[in-house]
Amino acid sequence: MLRYLTAGETHGKCLTAIIEGMPSGVNIDIEKINEALAARQRGHGRGGRMLIERDTAEILSGVRGGVTLGGPIALRIENKDWKNWSEIMGTEESNGKRAVECPRPGHADLAGGMKYNHRDFRNVLERASARETAARVAVGAVVKQLLESFGITFGRRVVNIGEIYDGGGEPDAEFYERVKASPVGFGSAEREKEAMEYIDKIKAAGESIGGVVEIRAFNVPAGLGSYVHYDRKLDANIAFGVMSVQAIKGVEIGMGFNVSSNCGSKVHDCIVYDGAYHRATNNAGGIEGGMSNGEPIIVRAAMKPIPTLYNPLDTVNISDKSPVKASVERSDACAVPACSVVVEAAVAFEIAKAFLDKFGGDCMADIKASYEAYNERIKKF
């Protein structure tokens, strides 16, 4: 089974990830990993940390000559800011400076401190930080290269930042190229300017803002996932993967919550046959009964505003229980475009996992044989 683990703290030496279950024979281009990492760091409204880090990945194991070996793949991303934190975050000795005793509203600080018995909340925030998502983006960039071998591709976009909505039209290849070049992840140049001005006003007010991102997966074959057990449903696993991303508070697939305000004839997709089965519409977002149905998979995720505010909220000092203002760590006013990169990685991983569950083998030759045999059977269905 395909799975991964990440390790590392936001101001530690590095972030690491280990991917287990990748078959042998997958061509891996490290530049595609680094491109994804660079995309995660871009976006209007990002904070000072992005001026320090220039993330690149190092493959430590599991790949030889640009091809996977079938064993665990180990990835490393250096934290450039470690040099400024080595005495504070050392694994063997620490000077105890920069302790955090005032939990920040909206963060994991207080609940994490209670759970793990940390009275210095730095022990919580260092791991709970969204810096960890760099490792997840690297993992997603690896598994996407497996899926690309079977024609499965992805497109990401920002639907809205706060009250500013993209008006770039129906996504196509040209649309996604505009999105990649946009500092706010929009397809519309006019709305892009509005969004940037809006973020600047939010930042000047000492506030932060969230938004909605959308991921589409194309050419996903019908039949990934399953209806027979709850933990094999593709939409359930995608929702789990996306909700595990820091700051995500809601996930929709297809029409999402809009299904609750429309009658059945406006929700369900008619089935047509023109030599192959298709849906006349795609309100289901490419998934029915926990399985991909052959249409593009459409996932949207709602990101809350970054909770660290330069006009900090009220909290409590746990040492004397006195009311204080929350501490301020370096922060972003808006990280929604970066979030779209992270969510894309999360969706890609869940689709790759379901793909290998369906067609899996120890090497690409076996997977391709299984995939081709399945397609031949489906053509006759």
13 is in an annotated binding site: no
305 is in an annotated binding site: yes
307 is in an annotated binding site: yes
247 is in an annotated binding site: yes
The residue assigned the tokens 């030889």 is 64
- According to DSSP, residue 258 is labeled G
318 is in an annotated binding site: no
Angle 303-309-315 (CA atoms, 0-180°, nearest 5)? 105
42 is in an annotated binding site: no
Task: Check: CB of residue 238 under 8 Å from CB of residue 347.
Answer: yes
246 is in an annotated binding site: yes
7 is in an annotated binding site: no
129 is in an annotated binding site: yes
289 is in an annotated binding site: yes
Strands (E), the chain: 3-7, 14-20, 57-61, 63-64, 67-68, 73-78, 153-161, 164-165, 211-218, 248-253, 271-273, 277-279, 287-288, 291-292, 297-303, 314-316, 323-325
308 is in an annotated binding site: yes
127 is in an annotated binding site: yes
The residue assigned the tokens 């929604």 is 336
Handedness of CA 304, 310, 315, 318 (dihedral sign): positive
C-alpha to C-alpha distance for 152 and 254, rounded to whole angstroms: 18
Q: Residues within the annotated binding site for NADP(+)?
A: 40, 46
Q: Residues within the annotated binding site for FMN?
A: 127-129, 246-247, 289, 304-308, 330
Q: Residues within the annotated binding site?
A: 40, 46, 127-129, 246-247, 289, 304-308, 330
